[in-house]
Amino acid sequence: MLDDIGNKIKALRTGRQLTQDQLAKLINKKFNANISKSMISKWENNKEIPTLENVRMLVSFLGCTLDYLIGIDVKEENQLTTTELIAWFKANKEKLSSLSKEDSQKIIKLIDLYLD
């Protein structure tokens, strides 16, 4: 379960186009913490598991849930199924076609994170 946490941290970080160093500095600034680039590298490579306090800062900063980060599969009432998500995209195809290339790429990254 926790062996995938590193991949998720990396996906969330790269999805925001941040380096490990940038992520560490931003978390440190926001939470007055002492996270280093090497700590993030160890987490992403599953060499160490972040402490509960570090996980709290990560989920808050990266905008994900604790359940997602540690691999608990919880289906909430308002969570879309993959079929519902595809139907929504088909229904909104015209609106989506007018998005900039940058916005389209952001949506694709979000979908990839959602489907993982």
Structural domain boundaries of the chain? 2-70, 82-115
Q: Is 20's pLDDT higher than 90?
A: yes
Is the Cβ–Cβ distance between 43 and 3 less than 8 Å?
no
For the domain with range 2-70, which CATH number is right: 1.10.260.40, 3.40.50.150, 1.10.287.70, 1.20.1250.20?
A: 1.10.260.40
| Greater model confidence, 54 or 93 | 54
Rounded to 5 degrees, what are φ and ψ at 69?
Answer: -65, -40
- 3-class DSSP state of 91: helix
What residues have CB less than 8 Å from 47, skipping those under 6 apart? 41
Is the pLDDT at 27 greater than 70? The verdict is yes
Which of 61, 68, 70 has the alpha carbon at shortest distance from 32? 61
SS3 category, 114: helix
Contacts (Cβ under 8 Å, ≥6 apart) of 81: none
Average pLDDT score over the chain = 84
Question: 99 in helix, strand or coil?
Answer: coil
Flag whether pLDDT at 75 surpasses 60: no
Gap between the Cα atoms of 42 and 34, Å rounded: 15
